[in-house]
Amino acid sequence: MQLDQTHIVIRLRKFSEIGDLSLVMIRRYPEAILIGFTMGAVGWVILNTLLLGWIPWQESIYGLDDPAALGEISRYILWMTLLVILQTPAAGVFTTIYIGQAVFEKRPTWKTVTREVKRQFKRWFLVLGVYRLAIPAMIILVFRWNQPVSGFWDIFVPLVILIWIAIVRANRPFAPEIILLEQCPLRAASDSVITMPKRSKSLHSPMAGELSGRFVAVAMILAGLVFTCFYTMIWFRGIIVGYWNTMNLTVLLVFFPLALWLVAGVSVIIRLLNYLDTRIRLEGWEVELAFRAEALRQFGSDHHRVTSSEPKSAPTAGSRVTSKNAKSAGTAT
C-alpha cells in the first residue's frame, strides 16, 4: 500500500469541489450505494414500513384525498422523514467502511466489509443507533401504533428530535468515521488513550463554525434532491402508465421513502469526503501520508510515522481505506 498514491488526491478542497468529487465517487464506486447502502438500509426500511405503513393503508380505506386524512398523512410524512434522517448514519456503515478501504488500496470484498461491520457492531450500534435517537424514536412509534394523530406526539416531539439531531450533527458530524475508520474506543481506563469523545472534540471543535455552515448548506441541497427524486419517479410513472395522482399508496409507501433513502446514500459519501477534508485542514494529513509512504518505501514498515492526535492502536482513515496507483487514468483530483 502506497499511502501517497490514492484514488482521491489528498489535498485541500473548496466546498463546491467536495460536491463535484462526491459525484465522481458515486460514478466510480456505484456498488458503495447500490450494494453497501442497500445492505445497511434494508432492515431499517422494513421496520419503518411496519411502524408507519399502517397510517396510509388505513386512510386509503376512506380515501387519501379526503381532507380529513390530511393530518394523518402529514404525520406519516414527518415521522418517515425523521426516521430516515436518524437512521442514515447507522445504515451507511457498510458504505463508510467500503469507501474508506477503497480509497487507498484495492476494492475490498463485501465479505471483508461485512466482517468488519459485525466486529464493530456493539460500538457503532450504541452510538449511531441508540445515543443518536434512532432506536428511541422507533420505540415511541411502537407505543403510538394504531393511535390517532396527536399534536404533542406527532408534531412537537418529532420537531424537538429534529432540532436536537440538527444541533448534534452540525457540531459532531463525523462520529461514524471516528468509530469505523479510526476505531477509537468509546471509553478507556487510561487517560493516555484517545477515546471517541476526546477524538471528536479535537477534530470538531476547531472547525465548529465551518462544519455547521457546511451542514446547513448540505441539508438544503439534500432536501432539494429529495424533492427532485420524488417528483422524477412520479413523472416517470405518469409518462409510462398515464396515471398522475400523487396521493395513493404507491406514492406514499414506495416513492416517498425511496427518494429519502436514495439521497441518504449520497449524504454518506458527502460526509466522508468532508471528513477527509477536515483532517487535511487540521492535521496536514497529506504531508503525514507522504512521509509515511516514503518510510514504507525506504524501510518496509511505518517506522517514521508522523505523530498525530489519534491513538497508535487505532488505524487512521488512511490505513483502513484502499489504493491503486494514482498515476493510472481516472484518479480523482
Residues 265-292: pLDDT tens digits? 999 999 999 998 898 888 776 666 665 6
Residue 4 has pLDDT above 50, yes or no: no
Euclidean distance between CA atoms 303 and 314, whole angstroms: 16
Question: What share of the chain in percent tops pLDDT 90?
Answer: 60
Of 101-110, 175-184, 229-238, 322-331, give the lowest mean pLDDT range. Answer: 322-331
Residue 151 has pLDDT above 80, yes or no: yes
- 6: β partners: none
As a whole number, mean pLDDT of residues 324-332 equals: 37
Triad 323, 329, 333: Cα angle to 5°: 70
pLDDT for 52 equals 97
Euclidean distance between CA atoms 324 and 45, whole angstroms: 35
The per-residue DSSP string of 46-61 comes to: HHHHHHHTHHHHHHHT
What size, in residues, is the chain?
333
- pLDDT tens, position by position, 93-138: 999 999 988 876 667 899 999 999 999 999 999 999 999 999 999 9
Residue among 119, 120, 123, 114 at smallest CA distance from 95: 114
pLDDT for 158 equals 96
pTM of the model: 0.85
As a whole number, mean pLDDT of residues 144-153 equals: 93
Triad 168, 173, 178: Cα angle to 5°: 120
Residue 33 has pLDDT above 50, yes or no: yes
pLDDT for 316 equals 46
- pLDDT tens, position by position, 225-256: 999 999 999 999 999 998 888 889 999 999 99
Match 460500538 to its residue by C-alpha cell.
Answer: 123
Any residues with CB less than 8 A from the CB of 248 and at least 6 apart, and which?
A: 60, 64
Please give the mean pLDDT across all residues of the chain. Answer: 84
Match 496536514 to its residue by C-alpha cell.
Answer: 284
Question: What share of the chain in percent tops pLDDT 70?
Answer: 81
Task: Give the residue with greater pLDDT, 6 vs 166.
Answer: 166
Task: Give the residue with greater pLDDT, 96 vs 293.
Answer: 96
pLDDT for 329 equals 31
Residue 85 has pLDDT above 50, yes or no: yes
Residue among 201, 165, 195, 6 at smallest CA distance from 84: 165
- Crossing angle, helix 256-283 and helix 93-102, to 10 degrees? 40
Residue 264 has pLDDT above 50, yes or no: yes
As a whole number, mean pLDDT of residues 194-219 equals: 92
